[in-house]
Amino acid sequence: MLGVLFAHQDQADWLDRAVDTPIIAWFSGHPDLAVRLASPGSLIPAAVLSAAIVIACLLTGRLNGAVLAALAVPVAVGLDESLLKPLFHRTYLGNLVYPSGHTTAMFAVAATVTVLLLVPPQPAKAKVLRIAIPAAACALGCVVAVAVIGLRWHYFTDTVAGAAVGIGAVCGLALILDLPIVRSWLARASRQPPAAQERRSQAARGHAGAS
Instruction: Lowest mean pLDDT of 44-48, 159-163, 188-192, name the range.
Output: 188-192
CA-based radius of gyration for the chain: 19
Exposure string of 172-206, with b = 16+ CB inside 10 Å and e = fewer, is ebbeebbeeeebeebbeeeebeeeebeebbeeeee
> Angle at which helices 180-189 and 156-177 pack, to 10 degrees?
70
Binned at pLDDT 50, 70 and 90, residue 142 comes out as very high
Residue % of the chain over a pLDDT of 70: 87
Residue whose C-alpha is closest to residue 164's, from 90, 106, 114, 125: 106
**pLDDT value at 181 more than 80:** yes
**pLDDT value at 112 more than 80:** yes
Most confident of 11-25, 113-127, 193-207: 11-25
- C-alpha distance across the termini of the chain, in Å: 29
Helix, strand, coil percentages (3-state) for the chain, rounded to 5, are: 80, 0, 20
**pLDDT value at 126 more than 90:** no
Burial of 11: CB neighbours in 10 Å, binned 0-12, 13-18, 19+: exposed
Distance between CA 116 and CA 49 in Å, rounded? Answer: 14
Backbone angles phi, psi at 92, to 5 degrees: -140, 115
**Cβ–Cβ under 8 Å, residues 90 and 9:** yes
pLDDT for 101 equals 96
Q: Alpha carbon of 149 to those of 27, 37, 159: distances in Å?
A: 9, 11, 8
Averaged pLDDT score across all residues of the chain: 88
pLDDT for 162 equals 97
Binned at pLDDT 50, 70 and 90, residue 99 comes out as very high
Domain boundaries, the chain: 16-89+96-177, 180-211
Quick check: pTM over 0.95?
Answer: no
Greatest alpha-carbon pair distance for the chain in Å reads 58
